[in-house]
Copies of this chain bind each other. A is one copy, B any other.
Amino acid sequence: MKGNMHNAGVNMNSAISPVELAKAYRLVNHGPTVLVSACHDGVEDVMAAAWCCALDFAPPKLTVVLDKATKTRELLENSGYFAIQVPTAAQLELTNQVGSISLRDNPDKLAHCQVELFCTGESDVPLVAGCAAWLLCKLIPESHNQQTYDLFIGEVIGAWADSRVFSEGHWHFEDADPQWRSLHHVAGGHYYAIGDALDAKES
């Protein structure tokens, strides 16, 4: 099934480049709202999550908070894998919609939200096309955290970024088209884009 749906490998878009795992934390270090994707038994879902955070450098880990009502949570609990991706200002409506509509209520959610998926070829976890960066994660099961806090921990086992906005281990928001800027959710449909670069002196 997935072969038909996702014939695009990462290499189809030559702007997508691997990010070394030691620098994968930088993809989320600035606190963007992310998209979470997962699949199990032929079912795929994507949701938005503002509560995603780096947890460790090496091996890279991250946390993400997933409400019990979400289908994406069920899929990653069953498959043990998920992806975190960094959507862009160009994906504002997509991001807000996948964060507002549930696959449980609308089986056509992904088509309705105009989500295009692809796979890396190394994994069947679906990735969202058009994002600025992708982190493929293996769930580290922590039942107490998951049940008590809806808190999930993943080890990052693969990372990629679009070289038009992230290259050589650094974001280049200041030099890229503003449509590449990451989204930072506040509440409701209200977001901020990431802004100007600021460099501190050596301390």
Q: Does A97 contact B (CB under 8 A)?
A: yes
- With A93-B203, A192-B197, A195-B196 in contact, do A63 and B56 touch (Cβ < 8 Å)? no
Say whether B55 contacts A151, CB under 8 Å.
yes
Partner of A192, one of B61, B89, B150, B171: B171
Interface status of A1 (Cβ within 8 A of chain B): no
Is B192 a contact partner of A195 (Cβ separation < 8 A)?
A: yes
Q: Does B191 lie within 8 Å of A200, measured CB to CB?
A: yes
- Complex alpha-carbon distance, A173 and B196, angstroms: 13
Output the residue of A32, A53, A97, A101 with the most chain B CB within 10 A.
Answer: A53
A141 at the interface (CB under 8 A from B): no
Give the interface segment out of A6-14, A35-43, A129-137, A179-187. A179-187
Count of interface residues, chain A, beta-carbon cutoff 8 Å: 56
Interface 0/1 of A167-203, CB less than 8 Å to B: 0011101000000010111110111111111111111
Contact of A85 with B by CB under 8 A: no
- Find chain B residues with CB under 8 A from A145 CB: 145
CB 8 Å contact bits of A51-64 with B (1 = contact, 0 = none): 11111100001010
A95 / chain B contacts, CB cutoff of 8 Å: 200
Q: Are A151 and B63 in contact (CB under 8 A)?
A: yes
Q: Flag whether A31 is at the interface (Cβ < 8 A).
A: yes
Give which listed residue, B56, B170, B195, contacts A195 with CB less than 8 A. B195
Residue pairs across A and B with Cβ atoms less than 8 A apart, 16 shown, are A26-B186, A29-B185, A29-B187, A30-B184, A56-B65, A93-B200, A97-B200, A144-B144, A169-B187, A170-B190, A171-B192, A173-B192, A184-B184, A189-B203, A194-B194, A194-B195
